[in-house]
Structure 1
Amino acid sequence: METSLGRYAHFARNGVKVGISADVPSTSPTMQAPLFVVDGATTGLDISDPKNTEVFPPNWEPMTIHQAMRAITIDAAWMLNMEDKIGSLEVGKYADFVVLESDPYEAKPGTAHQISLLMTVMDGRVTHKVQ
């Protein structure tokens, strides 16, 4: 049976804004961080499970890293009708962002969630910094 989950990559590839996120109970509490969501969307696996259990239907098509990153940032902001305030770094928007140790676009599939957080910035102020 075809489901919308199997079509996210198709929709994104064809210009439809797709938002992905993590929420209990549909997502394991151990996979709430955005990069876990990216790994799930790009691999179809429960990255928190040592067996890497498949979590999507057989007809599921993985998203690219670019599609998944858009889906957790600017496209999700658009769905909230907040794309003028959040979702990308632009003059006039909230300066809420994280600094990562390495580039998730360069990570091996399924490993983005392992990238260390170096700094969190909220409203332009550093709120967390790894020493």
Structure 2
Amino acid sequence: MTATVATRTEVAARAVDVWKVYGTGEAQVNALGGVSVELEKGRFTAIMGPSGSGKSTLMHCLAGLDAVSRGQVYIGDTQITGLSDRGLTNLRRSKVGFIFQQFNLLPTLTAEENILLPL
């Protein structure tokens, strides 16, 4: 008899029933409504959809740059929903890298100088 061992894929980040709501009353916008997703370590994942569908909001929530209104977000095995600002900062320093759409480089500096500026 041969035993089969199931291996669980490691998860880089995941969202569980995540909601992100902006505003209140008639001005309320549900940017995310009950989104659940797992992003596997070592895999490329494309998040696609029309403008205004919540792609950037989801990415900001998964990275801990924006707080969710409801649900849980994890980076690796660490639940980031409810972490303090200091806890989020420490986690992002050691576990997350960012490439922003609007990277706001200073045109008077070289690429290397722009990279070194935050140091």
Fold conserved between structures, TM > 0.5: no
TM-score, scaled relative to structure 2: 0.31
Q: Which structure has the highest strand share of the two?
A: 2
TM-score by length of 1: 0.29
Which one has the largest radius of gyration?
2
